[in-house]
Amino acid sequence: MSANQSEASLSDTHVPRISIAQAQALALKHYGLNGQMRELTGERDRNFHLKATQGEYVLKISSALEDPATTAFQNAMLGHLEGTGTDVPIPHLIPTIEGADEALIEADSGARHIVRLVTYLKGTPLAYWPPSHAIRLQVAQISARMVLALKAFTSSYTDTQMLWNIARADRIRPLLSAVEDPVVRNMSEAVFARFDEVVRPALTALPTQFIHNDLNLHNLIVGDGGLISGVIDFGDAVRSHAVCDLATAAAYQLFEVDDPITALSEMVVAFHTVRPLSEPEIDLIFDLVRARWAITVGIAHWRARRHPANGAYIMRNAPRSITALKAVASVSPAKVADILKTICERSPA
């Protein structure tokens, strides 16, 4: 597993050791802001919510192993989205006192970190809302609008370490060795086997673009009236296939639903009416959703074994991914593709 270990080095690091007091000092020094600070969760970054008289913000301090090209790429993507005038609600990057997109600091340990500040989007994470038809439609439409807004975005940035790219699900297969339950491990292995045999070859014929790639329940904020008021965390953005953004979003919306295929159909139609899906894309959607669940299982178990102190956060989506995989284990991907193509043909695009 040495190749995968090197690719996973960034996702396998601890978040920066920065205290609230240190974060407050950084906000004052680099942004001239002072106020109440509280820590937020994060996988690789150390994030803080800053409430100042000028407004509310999120101070993001990147891992010492984060490539500066990565944060520069994310900054450029945010700038592009803002420039398109998209109605997708995204955070805005706040420049430093010197007018830069970010600041470089050195921690007490000697490690160097990139500091950024973005606006805080008020509301409640979607993770604390019950699944519903209305929410599923909103999520699918936001994914489609984001895909359209990013279609013209260009960058020379290439992330070879991004493990969450469904199009490269083959890299996660060796991580299943960390899954102790043989039923779960074998079920996930079967998904990856089909991915290698059927899905990945078909994906190579589809065009690529940059996508958000992580419309999960914690990255979508719900505001007044049950309307999604924010899309956050561009840390997993990657060049992939447009349909992978929909599949990622759908994977989280199919948790704890009575009929996952009907719920998936609702999302596919909602996406299709905004950004039309081609027949080859529709053929792959169900397989891509299952691949995302299997990716979650593999990465979560592998990382939780290496970092047990952060295990609860790392494993938060794994049990539901396992339940979802079991719920559709006997469902034919070909039959699902036929269902999805039929409903898309009936819906205007």
Which pTM was predicted?
0.91
Question: How remote is the C-alpha of 77 from its chain's centroid?
Answer: 14
Tell me the C-alpha distance between 155 and 5, whole Å: 26
Tell me the C-alpha distance between 11 and 44, whole Å: 7
What does the DSSP 8-state code read for residue 225? G
What's the count of helices (H) and strands (E) in the chain, helices before strands?
12, 11
Q: What is the Cα Rg of the chain in Å?
A: 20
Structural domains present in the chain:
12-120 (3.30.200.20), 125-346 (3.90.1200.10)
Per-residue pLDDT of the chain (349 residues), as tens digits, is 333 433 444 454 556 888 999 999 999 999 999 999 999 976 678 999 999 999 999 999 998 888 899 999 999 999 999 999 899 999 999 999 999 999 999 887 788 899 999 999 999 999 999 889 999 999 999 999 999 999 999 999 987 778 999 999 999 999 999 999 999 999 999 999 999 999 999 999 999 999 999 999 999 999 988 999 999 999 899 999 999 999 999 999 999 999 999 999 999 999 999 999 999 999 999 999 999 999 999 999 999 998 888 888 889 889 999 999 999 999 999 999 999 999 999 987 6
DSSP 153-204: -------S--TT-GGGGGGGGGGGGG---HHHHHHHHHHHHHIIIIIHHHHT
